[in-house]
Amino acid sequence: MPKPHFSHVTTWVFDLDNTLYPPAMRLFDQIERRMTDWVSRKLGVSAEQANHLRATYWKLYGTTLAGLMAEHAIDPDDFLAHVHDIDFSGVTPDAALSRRIAALPGRRIVYTNADAPYARRVLAARGLSDHFDAIYGIEHAGFRPKPERRAFETVFALDALDPAKAAMFEDDARNLAAPHAMGMRTVHIAPQAEPAPHIHHHHADLSEFLGQLTGA
């Protein structure tokens, strides 16, 4: 059982997309389509070229936004407003997840590469709005994305978080490398495990894993 490995944790840090909701809800599919549309219109390239740039910048820079800012000096606020203007009708509340997050002792925060207003809409749709002490978006990291260590350091300094007493839950395995190096307990939430030294635990379902920690 993983519970003894978390006895020291006083701050619980959760990624948002495909972590606090399952990938089957497919919100990020909508976001990716809107990213491609934005890139195509703003850069004057075909949809195929725009989709290639979207994926390439994500791989090279951590987020498509970071690549667009580095390569094209785009306005991040305009980009974020466009790509997060999506349909939330497929997002449903999860009573078990809500109960288990509420049962975690200490502070609970969200830290996402999206922006905070979008994160609040997702949490509301999932019935989780009341369970978090703070929500941090990419704007709080000066638009630096995870997996950059400096992004984590900026957000954690804002929160006065002690990494040695914190745990990080993420669907993107590469975003756990910096938290691990900073002394955090790391949990990879994804359908497939990606064994690596910087990943302490893996589970396909966040709610089930939290149930093992809380008994809720």
Distance (Å, rounded) from C-alpha 103 to C-alpha 105? 6
Picking from 173, 134, 133, 184, the residue whose alpha carbon sits closest to that of residue 155 is: 134
Tell me the average pLDDT across 72-98.
94
Which domains does the chain show, CATH number per domain? 3-21+93-214 (3.40.50.1000), 27-83 (1.10.150.450)
3-state secondary structure labels for all residues of 113-167: CCCHHHHHHHHHHHCCHHHCCEEECHHHHCCCCCCCHHHHHHHHHHHCCCHHHEE
Structure tokens at 74: 């785009």
**Does the pLDDT of residue 67 top 80, yes or no?**
yes
**Quick one: pLDDT at residue 216?**
82
Residue 181 — very low, low, confident or very high, per pLDDT cuts 50/70/90? very high
pLDDT, residue 105, reads 95
Per-residue pLDDT reduced to its tens digit, 29-46: 999 999 999 999 999 999
**Residue 41 per-residue DSSP state:** H
Task: Identify the band that residue 62 occupies on the pLDDT scale cut at 50, 70 and 90.
Answer: confident
